[in-house]
């Protein structure tokens, strides 16, 4: 275990060095920008090309580009609730990136942008962005499958605790259903007369209320008409 | 050693062949954010320290780009 942890720490350290301490002036970057959504498609394409030009003007070689299209933002940015997401991966000159960033800040159609350094060996990935999270039970099952070599005694109680809950719930609901029926059987003969009497009163009340409401509605409608005139 | 047993596997968080957590990997990132949008602390996630830091960075980047909310 210890050796593994050490190895992973070493790997992480190497990676950090590659991210921060490289002497070379060129480095891989990723630019993500959100383009103003209040434009037509033709305008959007224009903006996209302009953005691409801007990146290439600053001594960058784009090797990957991706458009996510119009997406809903998690919170409004500059009073916009949507945005066109655009991603560029490029080899850039580290001296020119701040300038590019400054230019991006000025451009009107970019409502937000982010430039990050990419580590060595990064390959563009595709993610299912709006995929729903798997349920916790499914995740537990997956984990158990992955750790199939583990001794069965260790994890059983935890994995089993999910299943009994499921079995318990229906029982509870059943008992809840059954109980009222039993009580109703017992109390039914005594309460019948009361129950019959009560609904009639309620019905009468409800009818009165309905009539009142109808009158009110009519009055309102007529007044609306007057207002419209 | 118990705490080490409880740790998650290293590789599934990162982009292949790196130790870099991608802020675009929303299905992954959402697992490490509470229902109120806060970053889950390390005693829940059981992730190595290095990765917890990368994860936090990825979450903050995703928040900045409007991919996940700051507060729900």
**ipTM of this model?**
0.83
Position B69 scores a pLDDT of 94
Q: What is the pLDDT of residues A163-206, one digit of tens each?
A: 445 444 444 444 444 444 444 444 444 444 455 555 566 677 88
The pLDDT, as a whole number, for residue A114 is 95
Q: Can you give the pLDDT at residue B2?
A: 62
- Per the structure block, which two tokens stand in for A109? 């159609």
pLDDT band at A17 (very low <50, low <70, confident <90, very high): very low
> What percent of chain A shows pLDDT beyond 70?
59
Residue A81 in tokens: 């609730």
Instruction: Determine contact, residues A62/A30, Cβ cutoff 8 Å.
Output: no
| 3-state secondary structure (DSSP) of residue A130 | coil
Q: How many CB atoms lie within 10 A of CB B42?
A: 15
Q: How far is CA A228 from the centre of its chain?
A: 45
**Contact indicator for A7, A15 with CB cutoff of 8 Å:** no
- From first CA to last CA, the distance across chain B in angstroms is 37
What percentage of chain A's residues is helix, strand, coil (to nearest 5)? 60, 20, 20
In degrees rounded to 5, what are phi and psi of residue A96?
-90, -15
Specify the DSSP element, H or E, that contains A114: strand A110-117
CB contact residues (below 8 A), chain A span 83-102, against chain B: 83, 85, 87
Contact call for residues B25 and A135 (beta carbons, < 8 A) = no
Asked if the model's pLDDT at residue B21 lies above 70, the reply is yes
Q: Which pLDDT does position B34 carry in this prediction? A: 92
Tell me what pLDDT residue A219 has.
76
| Backbone dihedral angles phi then psi of residue A121, each to the nearest 5 degrees | 80, 15
Stated pTM of the model: 0.60
Q: What is the pLDDT of residue A101?
A: 93
Report which of B51, B69, B63, B64 is spatially closest to residue B11, judged by C-alpha positions.
Answer: B51
- Between CA B65 and CA A77 the distance in angstroms is 9
User: Mean pLDDT of all residues in chain A?
Assistant: 74
Interface contact flag, A122 B20, Cβ < 8 Å: yes
Nearest to A77 among B19, B25, B66 (CB): B66
More confidently predicted of A98 and B19: A98
Higher pLDDT, A163 or B62: B62
Q: For position A171, what pLDDT does the model report? A: 45
Q: Find where tokens 């300038």 sit.
A: A99
Place of tokens 């991603």: A87
Whether the per-residue pLDDT at A29 is higher than 60: the answer is yes
What was the pLDDT predicted at A123?
A: 87
Max CA-CA distance within chain A? Answer: 93
* A100 vs A57: CA distance, rounded Å: 9
Determine which of A31, A75, A77 to mutate to test the interface with B (most B C-beta atoms within 10 Å): A75
Which residue among A112, A127, A133 sits closest to B25, beta carbon to beta carbon? Answer: A127
- Tell me, yes or no, if A122 comes closer than 8 A to chain B by beta carbon: yes
To the nearest whole Å, the CA of B23 is away from the closest chain A CA by 10
Q: In chain B, which residues have their Cβ closer than 8 Å to the Cβ of A122? A: 15, 17-18, 20
Nearest residue of chain B to residue A68 (CA atoms)? B24
> Which residue in chain A has the smallest CA separation from B25?
A127
Please give the helix or strand (H or E) that residue B29 lies within, else none.
helix B26-31
Q: Which chain A residues touch B22 with a CB distance below 8 Å?
A: 125, 127
pLDDT for B58 equals 94
**Which residues does chain A have within 8 Å of residue B27's beta carbon, measured at their own beta carbons?**
127-129, 131, 133
């Amino acid at each position: 275990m210890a050796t593994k942890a050490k190895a992973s720490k070493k790997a992480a350290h190497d990676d950090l060095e590659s991210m921060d301490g490289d002497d070379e002036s060129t480095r891989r970057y990723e630019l993500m920008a959100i383009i103003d959504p209040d434009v037509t498609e033709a305008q959007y394409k224009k903006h996209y090309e302009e953005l691409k030009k801007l990146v290439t003007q600053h001594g960058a070689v784009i090797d990957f580009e991706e458009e996510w299209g119009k997406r809903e933002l998690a919170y409004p940015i500059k009073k916009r609730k949507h945005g066109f997401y655009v991603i560029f991966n490029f080899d850039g000159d580290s001296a020119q990136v701040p300038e590019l960033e400054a230019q991006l800040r000025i451009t009107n159609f970019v409502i937000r942008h982010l430039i990050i350094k990419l580590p060595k060996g990064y390959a563009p990935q595709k993610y299912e962005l709006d995929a729903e999270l798997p349920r916790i039970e499914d995740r537990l099952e997956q984990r158990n499958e992955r750790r199939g070599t583990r001794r069965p005694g260790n994890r059983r109680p935890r994995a089993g605790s999910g299943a009994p809950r499921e079995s318990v719930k229906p029982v509870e609901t059943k008992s809840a259903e059954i109980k009222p029926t039993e009580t109703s059987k017992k109390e039914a003969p005594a309460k019948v007369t009361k129950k019959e009497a009560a609904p009639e009163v309620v019905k009468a009340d409800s009818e009165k209320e309905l009539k009142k409401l109808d009158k009110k509605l009519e009055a309102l409608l007529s007044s609306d008409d007057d207002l419209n005139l | 050693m118990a705490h080490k047993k409880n740790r998650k596997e290293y590789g599934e968080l990162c982009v292949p062949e790196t130790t870099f957590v991608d802020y675009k990997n929303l299905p992954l990132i959402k697992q490490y954010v509470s229902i109120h949008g806060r970053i889950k602390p390390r005693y829940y996630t059981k992730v190595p320290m290095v990765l917890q830091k990368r994860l936090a960075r990825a979450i903050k980047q995703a928040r900045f780009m409007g991919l996940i909310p700051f507060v729900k």
